[in-house]
């Protein structure tokens, strides 16, 4: 503990509970009001610096304007003339979100939406008072022991000039969570916080940061470039709806983001409501009380709520939305009987409509023939036309799914449902499909010329970020616009699911007249992860050292090798696309361990710096 600061006698210091870059935080007792408080005191070596004292005053003034359950409340401030510079706030008995994430990863993206939704509520209140936080990150989010989320540390907050509606950016804050306009020194507004919230949502949902690098300079460069991996490729549980929300929040141009954080919170609330999670604070209270028990019970709850929501949308003829919700269920339960049964019923109704249309058209042609037969009796009868029933597209081009980066130049437009992906338009609402969207689930129909039958299969790959091939030719990238594949039925064919990122082995399915039809014409496959390939070297070099690579989440025998050898790191079916492993290097004289994160199917190098006598 630093030398006790000079503070009013009404406060009795109990213990030091934390240190930041510029201050020490104490737990204390307010003897006048008989309550515990937290006192944030500037480090002694900073107390004499005007800028540090002004920054603490800025925090006090910003938070004093705010009264919200999810914002740390301020009780007192020393003022600029005090011997010690400090602020007194409510005491939070708990841990930071960063500390929580160091011990466990969120098992479901819905948990990420619950936490970030609470942060959005806090920021919306701050924005309404003209306060931009500018440093939203897990370190500045507290989790109280009862599960209540608290946003804190407004130390670099800016109070908005309502005449100009913007402030000038200064390079303060955490590089990994900075918006491009801060890095470029441009004008800031509320959408600057939207970007930081998007980064935190990405991290909580996938377990990885969208913009990562070997040093802060590389991180800042990637942020200004605006390129990041599609979150669905990082974690297979992230569905298209949440990916759209994240992508809109992380748009490089502020005009392409959510115009305010409240709308981001509304979309997260709608995403959660479809899954039956309408009481965010109650859910988080239960979750943080016993995370393993909550996560064990959640899949059954999600499946029931999502299938009920899908049934409601289906009854209102919103078939695309129903399919969207079924995909969320299949992401964690690929064989869910309720979803497969619903698809079967939907298929039956589609067949009836197709048959009725065919009969009606045939009757029409028959009527026309009877009416005009006396006029064409001198001509030989022509053959009846072949009726072509084509599947309607799921969505129009303006509603196409997200695509991080430029459209795929290899995307083809042959046959049913094949169109290149286009980036999501910020003007398009990320969670509501167009009213005229129609679901194509016809299973069998004649083709136009030869009369040869085709069969249309509903596809359900996991992970969903795959390219679909037929007989070696790419048809489309799987997404909500492209979930079915029409296959000519005169010969046998091979359908392939290929991962564009190389994370998984190719999954092949043979179909055709000589093969049994898949149940309900649904082809659902979970692709097997490729192992990560890791080349480990040591510094200083030690070719005789023994290397052990251990999976931190499994009781399996570690993989052994030597420096300079490429070691396979196996990935199991229920793993995510990336995971943390432990590397141990034994030189005989020292034993060094490090933890790193590797990605399925990816080659990487890592240097272990040996520490003499480490154990």
- Catalytic residue set: 135
What does the block give as tokens for 572? 């199991």
3-state secondary structure of 592: strand
Q: What are the DSSP calls for 343-392, one per residue?
A: HHHHHHHHHHHHHHHHHHHHHHHHHHHHHHTTTSTTSPPPPPPPP---PP
Q: Which of 502, 552, 553, 574 is nearest to 532 (CA)?
A: 502
- Residue 32 burial (10 A CB sphere; 0-12, 13-18, 19+): exposed
397 Cβ neighbours under 8 A, 6+ residues apart:
419, 422
End-to-end CA distance of the chain: 29
| Cβ pair 183, 224 in contact under 8 A | yes
Q: For residues 222 and 211, is the Cβ–Cβ distance under 8 A? A: yes
Lay out the sheet containing 86-90: strands in order across: 11-19, 23-30, 35-42, 86-90, 74-77
Residue 86, by phi and psi: left (phi above 0), alpha (psi -120 to 50) or beta? beta
86: which 2 tokens?
Answer: 């400090």
Long-range contacts made by residues 121-125, C-beta under 8 angstroms, separation at least 24?
121/68, 121/70, 121/265, 122/68, 122/70, 122/71, 122/149, 122/150, 122/151, 123/151, 123/193, 123/197, 123/261, 124/260, 124/261, 124/262, 124/265, 125/66, 125/67, 125/68, 125/70, 125/71
SS3 311: helix
The size of the chain, in residues, is 615
Cross-strand partners of 267: none
Q: How far apart are CA 493 and CA 518, in angstroms?
A: 14
Whether the Cβ atoms of residue 416 and residue 391 lie closer than 8 Å to each other? yes
């Amino acid at each position: 503990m630093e030398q006790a600061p000079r503070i009013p006698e009404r406060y009795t210091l109990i213990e030091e509970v934390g240190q930041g870059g510029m201050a020490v935080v104490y737990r204390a007792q307010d003897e006048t009001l008989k309550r515990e408080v937290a006192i944030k005191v500037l480090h002694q070596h900073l107390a004499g610096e005007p800028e540090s004292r002004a920054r603490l005053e800025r925090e006090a003034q910003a938070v004093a304007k705010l009264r919200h359950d999810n914002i740390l409340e301020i009780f007192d401030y020393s003022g600029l003339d005090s011997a010690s510079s400090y602020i007194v706030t409510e005491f939070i008995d708990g841990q930071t979100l960063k500390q929580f994430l160091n011990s466990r990863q969120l098992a479901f993206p819905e948990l990420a939406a619950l936490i970030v939704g609470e942060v959005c509520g806090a920021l919306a209140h701050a924005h309404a008072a003209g306060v931009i936080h500018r440093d939203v990150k897990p370190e500045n989010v507290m989790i109280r022991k009862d599960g209540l989320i608290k946003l804190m540390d407004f130390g670099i907050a800016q109070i908005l000039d309502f005449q100009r509606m913007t402030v000038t950016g200064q390079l303060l804050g955490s590089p990994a969570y900075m918006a491009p306009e801060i890095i470029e020194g441009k004008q800031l507004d509320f959408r600057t916080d939207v970007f930081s919230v998007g980064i935190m949502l990405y991290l909580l949902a996938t377990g990885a940061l969208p913009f990562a690098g070997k040093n802060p300079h590389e991180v800042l460069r990637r942020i200004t470039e605006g390129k990041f991996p599609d979150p669905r490729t990082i974690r297979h549980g992230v569905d298209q709806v949440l990916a759209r929300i994240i992508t809109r929040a992380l748009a490089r141009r502020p005009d392409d983001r959510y115009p305010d954080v409240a709308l981001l919170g509304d979309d997260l609330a709608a995403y959660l409501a479809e899954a039956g999670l309408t009481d965010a604070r109650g859910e988080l209270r239960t979750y943080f009380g016993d995370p393993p028990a909550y996560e064990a019970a959640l899949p059954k709850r999600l499946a029931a709520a999502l299938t009920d929501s899908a049934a409601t949308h289906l009854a209102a003829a919103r078939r695309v939305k129903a399919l969207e919700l079924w995909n969320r269920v299949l992401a964690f339960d690929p064989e869910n009987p309720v979803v497969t049964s619903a698809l079967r019923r939907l298929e039956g109704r589609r067949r009836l409509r197709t048959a009725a249309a065919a009969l009606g058209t045939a009757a029409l042609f028959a009527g026309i023939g009877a009416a005009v037969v006396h006029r064409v009796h001198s001509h030989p009868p022509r053959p009846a036309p072949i009726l072509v029933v084509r599947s309607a597209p799921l969505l129009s081009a303006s509603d196409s799914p997200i695509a991080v980066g430029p459209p795929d130049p290899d995307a083809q437009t042959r046959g049913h449902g094949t169109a290149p992906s286009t980036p999501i338009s910020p003007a398009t609402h990320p969670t509501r499909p167009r009213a005229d969207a129609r679901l194509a689930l016809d299973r069998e129909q004649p083709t136009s010329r030869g009369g040869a039958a085709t069969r249309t299969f509903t596809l359900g790959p996991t992970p969903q970020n795959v390219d679909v091939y037929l007989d070696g030719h790419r048809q489309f990238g799987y997404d909500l616009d492209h979930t079915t594949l029409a296959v000519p039925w005169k010969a046998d064919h091979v359908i392939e699911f290929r991962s564009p990122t190389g994370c998984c082995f190719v999954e092949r399915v043979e179909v055709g007249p000589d093969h049994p039809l898949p149940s309900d014409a649904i082809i659902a496959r979970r692709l097997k992860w490729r192992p990560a390939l890791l080349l480990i070297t040591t510094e200083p070099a030690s070719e005789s050292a023994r290397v052990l690579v251990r999976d931190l989440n499994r009781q399996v025998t570690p993989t052994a090798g030597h420096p300079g050898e490429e070691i396979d790191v196996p990935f199991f079916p229920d793993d995510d696309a990336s995971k943390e492993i432990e590397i141990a290097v034994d030189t005989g004289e020292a034993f060094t361990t490090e933890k790193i994160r590797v990605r399925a199917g990816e080659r990487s190098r890592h240097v272990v710096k040996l520490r003499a006598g480490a154990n």
